[in-house]
Amino acid sequence: MTSTQSNRESNRDRLAQLDTFLSNTRSLWQPQPFKQVRPAWCDLYPQLTEALLTLDDEPLQFYSDNPESFLPWLVEQLPELTPLLGWHELPVKQTSAIELPGNRFFDGMGGRKRSQIEAFTCHSGQIEHSVVEWCGGKGHLGRLLGHSWQKPVTTLEWDGALCEAGCVAAEKAGIDQVFHVTDVLQPDLPVALTHQHAVALHACGELHRTLVRHSIEQTAVALDIVPCCYGLGCDDIYQPFTEGLSLQLQKDDMRLAVTETVTAGQREVVQRNKEMAWKLGYIELRKQQTGEAGYRNIKPIRKAWLQQSFREFCQQLAQREELMLTDDADWDRFEQLGWQRQDEVMRLLLLRHSFRRPLELWLVLDMVCALEAAGYQVEYGTFCERQMTPRNIMISARR
């Protein structure tokens, strides 16, 4: 058996095992504590539920920020989840020694974006062909790859203003880079991927999946992608590339794979907590006023509503839902109830969030196996720390 074959089988085996594990544990990660006061697993595991609900604020904060540190705690409570530890271990992509240009090259680029494209460039391996950059924004990544490997770059991006800014930056840096204002989801693309090296950094959901499909169909010689926002553009039920999998992921499950806020600032976290608490308070109020017990979706809210009082917040939401709220509602009580629910939701979520990485890995392995089945040699692994971006898995495929 060649090493490529054994790699292929080990990735297929890994995907099959993960598929079984996630299917068998679905009742633990699929229910959303925001929508269900007590998911069914709370009855099955009362001790775990109690231990979670009584966690102090400090460990809660720590475990929420460092999900991997939570795993030993969880496995102690529920030893059958021991395999979770393994599903959080990802290979680290090898680096190439690349001399990166100085600060002037990165003028106008945010610090985090710069670190990401530098890390991408150092981990993608040798580039021997012209590059096609998929959903490239201002083409920062393409510009750096063009500079580092002295290859022409074609950047595809549908926002004309970003393309124009990218053109200016490429000219200034003396890079052979052209931009096409194009919708990459449309069938007729201005370039074919045949004989090209395709790259994509954080092309969301259907955008990166389309690139994988095109690369296979048009036999791109190489592909380096860092996927993100897996749920974007996905059908109600995700259609895997690989046949024979039993897990059926719904849109909400796909979102779970990317709900980490590790790069959020303190203000964003405070705002997110308040939004969650107020929405939960409103849900309880709505239940009381309408007698409806079930969960009804709340559309995204305008952030300005959070600057008002809780009462005005509820009135705005109710108006949008064409619901009449009585004036004498006990606003303080419902706001307090909202905060209490938020407190509980954050604790119960620790369990659901422990499955985020394995779910992401399942989605990544699905693409890895499809590329391998199409004859590529594929490597995947993390290319930077989570603090730089939680979407830190890179897939590299070579013909």
Ligand X SMILES: C[S@@+](CC[C@H](N)C(=O)[O-])C[C@H]1O[C@@H](n2cnc3c(N)ncnc32)[C@H](O)[C@@H]1O
175 neighbors 143 (Cβ within 8 angstroms): yes
The verdict on 345 binding ligand X (CB under 6 A) reads no
- Nearer Cβ to ligand X (185/306): 185
158 lies in the binding site for ligand X (CB under 6 A): yes
Binding segment for ligand X (CB under 6 A), chosen from 137-145, 252-260, 283-291, 319-327, is 137-145
Identify which of residues 283 and 384 has a Cβ nearer to ligand X in the complex.
384
- Closest to 259 in 3D by CA, of 158, 352, 331: 352
Q: Choose between 74 and 200: whose C-beta lies nearer to ligand X.
A: 200
Q: Which stretch binds ligand X (CB under 6 A): 16-24, 62-70, 155-163, 251-259?
A: 155-163
Q: Nearer Cβ to ligand X, position 60 or 178? A: 178
Report in angstroms how near the CB of residue 353 gets to ligand X at its nearest: 22
Q: Does 181 bind ligand X (CB under 6 A)?
A: no
CB 388 → ligand X: shortest distance, Å?
12
Smallest distance from the beta carbon of 209 to ligand X, in angstroms?
12
- Residue that is written with structure tokens 């200034």 in the block: 172
Sign (positive/negative) of CA torsion 338, 343, 349, 353? positive
d(CA 89, CA 248): 23
Binding part of the chain for ligand X, among 24-32, 94-102, 158-166, 351-359 by CB under 6 A, reads: 158-166
| CA-based max dimension of the chain | 75
Verify binding: residue 184, ligand X, rule CB under 6 A.
yes
Closer Cβ to ligand X, 157 or 372, answer by number: 157
Question: Which stretch in 71-79, 182-190, 255-263, 301-309 sits in contact with ligand X by CB under 6 A?
Answer: 182-190
What separation in angstroms does the CA of 142 have from each of 93, 192, 228, 391? 20, 17, 18, 19
Q: Choose which of 202, 208, 286, 347 interacts with ligand X (CB under 6 A).
A: 202
We find the least distance from the C-beta atom of residue 138 to ligand X, in angstroms, to be 7
Is residue 137 a contact point for ligand X (CB under 6 A)?
yes
| Residue nearer to ligand X on the CB measure, 144 or 367 | 144
Kindly state the number of chain residues that form the binding site for ligand X, as judged by CB under 6 A. 17
**The token pair that represents 147 in the structure block:** 């500079």
Q: Which is nearer to ligand X, 325 or 364 (CB)?
A: 364
- 378 strand-pairing partners: 397
Residue 203 or 365: the one with the smaller Cβ distance to ligand X is 203
Is 356 one of the binding residues for ligand X (CB under 6 A)? no
CA dist 250 → 45, 181, 209 (Å) = 25, 32, 16
Site string for ligand X, 95-114 (x = CB under 6 A): ------------------x-
Q: How far is the CB of 199 from ligand X (least distance, A)?
A: 9
Integer angstrom CA distances of residue 36 from 218, 251, 277, 356, 387: 46, 17, 14, 19, 31
User: According to the binding rule CB under 6 A, does residue 367 interact with ligand X?
Assistant: no
How far is Cα 49 from Cα 55, in angstroms, rounded to an integer?
10
Task: Using the minimum distance from each CB to ligand X, give the nearer residue, 197 or 286.
Answer: 197
Least Cα distance to 241 among 394, 374, 354 occurs for 374
**222 membership: H or E segment, kind and range:** strand 222-228
Q: Does 135 bind ligand X (CB under 6 A)?
A: yes
Does residue 136 bind ligand X (CB under 6 A)? Answer: yes
Assign 3-class secondary structure to 122-183: HHCCCCCCCEEEECCCCCHHHHHHHHHHCCCEEEEECCHHHHHHHHHHHHHHCCCEEEEECC
Q: Considering the rule CB under 6 A, would residue 159 count as an interface residue with ligand X?
A: yes
**Token code pair at residue 88:** 């959080």
> Which of 42, 55, 144, 201 is close enough to bind ligand X by CB under 6 A?
201
Q: Which helix (H) or strand (E) holds 228?
A: strand 222-228
Three-class DSSP category at 395 = strand
Cα 37 to chain centroid distance, Å, stands at: 25
Binders of ligand X among residues 16 to 55 (CB under 6 A) are: none
Q: Which of 18, 207, 257, 345 binds ligand X (CB under 6 A)?
A: 207
Residues in contact with ligand X by CB under 6 A are 113, 135-137, 140-141, 157-159, 162, 183-185, 201-203, 207
